[in-house]
Amino acid sequence: MYAAELCFTSGINPSRPVSDVADLPRLVRRAKQMLEVNKVRAIQSTTGDLRSRMRTWVYRRDKSPCRRCGTTIHVAMNGEPGRERAIYWCPSCQPVTAG
């Protein structure tokens, strides 16, 4: 969940290698902030909204409209066979060429 949400809030396509991320220290700070905010909550949220179906930007929201731009959220399986994981992203807010 955090990987999908961190990529979204940073405008990074989740298929990009970490080595291609332009400002990795900023990404790490944002990840720490997300974890810190949620560590004392019974219900995790990356949007700040604790209502059901409003807690995440893209995670498990495939085929729903992006909360930011309205484009349909995509989901795909990524990784080696037997170790795949679902990745969620907005193709408009997280283009493949974004850094």
pTM, two decimal places = 0.86
Dist. CA 57–CA 9, nearest whole Å: 8
Secondary structure element (H or E) that encloses residue 24, with its range: helix 24-38
Domain that holds residue 39: 2-89
**99 in any annotated domain:** no
8 Å CB contact between 88 and 62? yes
* Cβ neighbours of residue 6 closer than 8 Å, sequence gap 6 or more: 12, 27, 30, 31, 34
Tens-binned pLDDT, residue by residue, of the chain (99 aa): 999 999 999 999 998 888 888 888 898 999 999 999 999 888 999 998 999 889 999 999 999 999 999 999 999 998 888 999 999 999 999 998 754
**97 in any annotated domain:** no
Tokens representing 40? 């004392």
Picking from 80, 82, 76, the residue whose alpha carbon sits closest to that of residue 13 is 76
**94 in any annotated domain:** no
**95 in any annotated domain:** no
**68 in any annotated domain:** yes
8 Å CB contact between 71 and 8? no
Split into its structural domains, the chain has a count of 1
